[in-house]
Amino acid sequence: MLFAVKMEVDLPADMDPQVRADTLAREKAYSQELQRAGEWVHIWRCVGQYSNLSVFDVADNARLHEILWNLPLFPYMTIEVTPLTRHPSDIAAS
């Protein structure tokens, strides 16, 4: 089941550099593990923004929430979730 997720990151200016570096490293590892598992299908950087547009393919709402809630950057993110489905004009759906 597909969901578009827009994640905007806003790190505090006075964040401890070591905490920051560690959080970003954990975020990257976490994301890549889910990409390899096939649940985090796409991740694109929005140009000029500290934000990404992602597409998830998950079993259900509960699993999507579990993934997002455990993002190391979750406390610093504004997240927008859009449930998706097949479009009738999609050639892959014909």
Query: What's the min distance (Å) between Cβ of 69 and its own copies?
Result: 8
The CA-atom distances, in angstroms, between 11 and each of 3, 31, 79, 83 are: 25, 18, 14, 27
Backbone angles phi, psi at 36, to 5 degrees: -65, -30
User: What one-letter code names the amino acid at 40?
Assistant: W
Query: What's the min distance (Å) between Cβ of 54 and its own copies?
Result: 8
Query: What's the min distance (Å) between Cβ of 27 and its own copies?
Result: 7
Say if CB 1 and CB 7 are below 8 A apart.
Answer: no
68 contacts its own copies (rule: CB under 8 A): yes
Q: How far apart are CA 77 and CA 15, in angstroms?
A: 15
69 contacts its own copies (rule: CB under 8 A): yes
88 contacts its own copies (rule: CB under 8 A): yes
83 contacts its own copies (rule: CB under 8 A): yes
Q: How far apart are CA 16 and CA 70, in angstroms?
A: 21
87 contacts its own copies (rule: CB under 8 A): yes
Report the interface residues with its own copies, using CB under 8 A.
Answer: 1-5, 11-13, 27-28, 31-32, 35-36, 42-49, 52-53, 55, 60-62, 64-65, 68-69, 75-76, 79-91, 94
